[in-house]
Amino acid sequence: MLLLTFYLIAITAEAMTAALAAGKRDMDWVGVCVIACITALGGGSVRDVLLGHYPLTWVAHPEYLWMTAGAAIFTALTARLMRHLHKLFLALDALGLVTFTVIGCQIGLEMELPITIVLLSGMITGCAGGVLRDIMCNDIPLLFRKEMYASVSMVTGGLYLIAIDQSFSELTSMLVPMGVGLTFRFLALRFNWQMPRFVYRDDWH
Residue 122 lies in a domain: yes
141: preceding bond cis by omega (within 30 degrees): no
Task: Check pLDDT > 60 for residue 121.
Answer: yes
Q: What is the pLDDT of residue 203?
A: 64
Residues 6+ apart with CB under 8 A from 53: 47, 107, 111
* Among 55, 42, 51, CA closest to 131: 42
Residue 200 lies in a domain: no
Q: Which residues pair with 13 in a beta bridge?
A: none
Residue 199 lies in a domain: no
Question: Is the sign of the CA dihedral 177, 181, 182, 186 positive or negative?
Answer: positive
Residue 112 lies in a domain: yes
Residue 205 lies in a domain: no
Q: What is the pLDDT of residue 201?
A: 78
55: preceding bond cis by omega (within 30 degrees): yes
How confident is the prediction for the chain on average, in pLDDT?
Answer: 92
Rounded to two decimals, the pTM is 0.93
The one-letter code for the residue type at 39 is T
**What is the distance between the alpha carbons of residues 162 and 184, in angstroms, rounded to a whole number?**
17
Residue 196 lies in a domain: no
CB atoms within 10 A of CB 160: 28
180: domain range? 2-191
Confidence of residue 200 (pLDDT cuts 50, 70, 90): confident
How many domains does the structure of the chain reveal? 1
Q: What is the pLDDT of residue 160?
A: 98
